[in-house]
Amino acid sequence: MTSVLVIDDHPIVLQGCRCLLEDWGIERVLEASSVLSGYRLFRREKPDMVIVDLALQGSGLSGLLLVRRLRAQDSRLPILVLSMHGDPVIASRALEAGADGYVQKDTSSGTLFEAFERVRRGQPYIGHELAMQVALLGARKDTPLGDVTQRELQMLALLADGRDYTQIADELGLSYKTVANTCSQLKAKLGATSLPELVRRAIQYVSTSPGTGARLGRGGMS
């Protein structure tokens, strides 16, 4: 019996994925709405494939860390990212974290099916246009997020989600000073002269899903 775990904090996305997967002949569809519940369900049920969002329950881009944890647990697990983000930097980071495929949520059901089938068969998938943008990242000098590290990217996502330094420190298991210093580095990288301007740029480059959810910091999943 084929089983697929879908991790997304939007009920309508979960419902839509369930309907599509059942139409495609998947016998068992598992659902989780947060990083922590998704990881625990994965550990307990050992699904044949995982479909995961990156921006879960207001925790920035914590789905990236979840993908990394899933890949560490099972090097052969097919992982497909279904995300609202179309920035090639974010897509590239998802693939680097261990995702086998990346599709945007506004894609057609036909494209999603193609991505699903490719990833399920152990083949990589990323849309042609986005794939070209990812391939060109190294040569592009005007990519706003090109020099941003994985940790900095997550901080930007949390800033875009309305978190202050104290909340970001708690979310990521870091000290307040570390967060403040990292955000100062981000200002320099993105050409922001103040925190409000950095927040505006974070919203511009890395919009995230609303809401609050389970914290993913040090030891958040075990």
Q: What is the pLDDT of residue 60?
A: 60
The residues facing 94 across adjacent strands are none
Taking the CA atoms of residue 139, residue 151, residue 62 and residue 207 in that order, the dihedral angle to the nearest 10 degrees is -60
Q: What is the pLDDT of residue 136?
A: 61
pTM of the model: 0.68
pLDDT digits (tens, 9 = 90+) for 14-32: 999 999 999 999 999 999 9
> Edge-to-edge strand order for the sheet containing 79-83?
28-32, 3-7, 49-52, 79-83, 101-104, 125-126
Q: What is the pLDDT of residue 172?
A: 83
Quick count: other Cβ atoms within 10 Å of Cβ 80?
23
pLDDT tens sequence for the chain (222 residues): 799 999 998 999 999 999 999 999 999 999 999 888 999 999 999 999 999 998 776 556 678 889 999 999 999 999 999 998 888 888 888 888 899 999 999 889 999 999 999 999 989 998 877 876 776 665 454 567 777 887 888 888 888 777 888 888 888 888 999 999 999 999 988 888 888 888 888 877 775 433 333 333 333 444
Half-sphere exposure of 94 (CA within 13 A, CB side): 33
CATH number assigned to the domain covering 3-138: 3.40.50.2300
194-215 as b/e: b if 16+ CB within 10 A: eeeebbebbeebbebbeeebbb
CA distances from 18 to 99, 118, 155 (A): 20, 18, 32
